[in-house]
Structure 1
Amino acid sequence: MLHLRGLSCRMLDRTYPQEWVEHYNANGYALRDPIVGWCLEHVGVFRWSNPDMPDPYGVMQKAAEFGLRYGAAISLGPKNCRSIFSVARADRELLPKELEELEKLGRHIHQLLPRELELTVKQIEAIECVAAGMRMKQAAAFIGISDSALKFRFRAIREKLSARTNAEAIQRAKDYNLI
């Protein structure tokens, strides 16, 4: 699953075999992947076996070598807020009923994702201090709040950004162009 908002990737979840993911990343396939290209330009369901799909870099042939022979992609939402779901099998094409269920599941997940991701002015102030290298105690003193108030702000920031740690929250805030 890939969720894009504008030019930023907001969510990426891969369940393909680790060997394929490593090969895909090492060879920079994301920018050459014909499925991703199709999904960025279209909404709907697209089978990997579609004969109209150009694949000048042989990404799909390489995927088949890793057991990802048959698959489909589901592209949902407007271009400025697009979710892409791609699934694969080694043994057979996905049945129409399976594609229908996958599209329904994809729509449900897409609707659950936040439409706009924003931090409050106070949250931005807090995360920028820590991102600049201040320790939590220093950042709290600089902002003029208690340590516990800063921890509370960071808990809310982590929740909004679906981050487990403050470091992950800072990285996501940078990735999402929030700071």
Structure 2
Amino acid sequence: MKTANRQEIATTLDELRAICDTGFALALHIRFTRPNILYRTYPQKWLDYYSDRGMMIEDPVVLWGLRETGMVRWADLPDPAGIVAEAEAFGLRNGLTCSVGPNSSRSISGFTRSSGPFSDGEAEHLLALTQRLHDMTENLSDL
């Protein structure tokens, strides 16, 4: 990877860390249900809890991102398994998910923060950052 591209990715990730004080996740270039790159900053206790319980298969955020493109607030998703509510119990509030790319190489991001819901303008910016990371990592296998 070119150094400039590596620096641009690092700068974008730093920007996301500044916006999302309670964490974010990036599943970039999902092919055959597996991301080529998975980058998560959510609390480890949540990641372990989520993984130990196999929550991905019922996660409304993941399901929406695999079926749709654009953005959605977690509060607007049906959540029959209560996964969004459980995430909130771990401090992951005000969630927003963005989904970009074709079905053959989809990228899904999830963003949370403690200070309140993302405004429409902030949500558009996070969608643009997701698209930027999707584009910059097309031929990469890790961050």
2:43 alignment partner, one of 13, 17, 33:
17
2:70 alignment partner, one of 37, 44, 49:
44
Distance 1:161 1:26, change over 3 A: same
- Cα RMSD, aligned residues only: 1.6
1:77 alignment partner, one of 88, 96, 101:
101
Task: State the Cα deviation string for residues 121-162 of structure 1 (Å, max 9, x = none).
Answer: xxxxxxxxxxxxxxxxxxxxxxxxxxxxxxxxxxxxxxx644
Any stretches of 5+ residues in structure 2 without a counterpart? 1-25
Does the 8 Å CA contact 2:36/2:142 hold for their aligned counterparts?
no
Q: Distance in 1 between matches of 2:34 and 2:73?
A: 25
Deviation at 1:22, TM superposition (A): 1.0
Deviation at 1:113, TM superposition (A): 1.9
- Count of matched residue pairs: 117
Alignment partner of 1:27 is 2:53 = yes
Aligned-pair identity (%): 34
Does the 8 Å CA contact 2:27/2:38 hold for their aligned counterparts?
yes
- SS of 1:87 mapped into structure 2: strand
Alignment of 1:74-153 (within 5 A): 74-114=98-138
The residue type paired with residue 74 of structure 1 is C
**Structure showing greater relative contact order (alpha-carbon pairs closer than 8 Å, 6 or more residues apart):** 2
- Could you state the TM-score of these two structures normalised by the residue count of structure 2? 0.76
- Could you state the TM-score of these two structures normalised by the residue count of structure 1? 0.61
The residue type paired with residue 46 of structure 2 is W
- SS of 1:67 mapped into structure 2: coil
Q: Which runs of 4+ in 1 moved over 2 A?
A: 6-9, 160-163
Deviation at 1:6, TM superposition (A): 3.0
Task: State the Cα deviation string for residues 59-108 of structure 1 (Å, max 9, x = none).
Answer: 01101101112110000001110000110123311111211211111111
Hey, which of these two has a bigger chunk of strand by percent? Answer: 2
Q: Distance in 1 between matches of 2:60 and 2:92?
A: 14
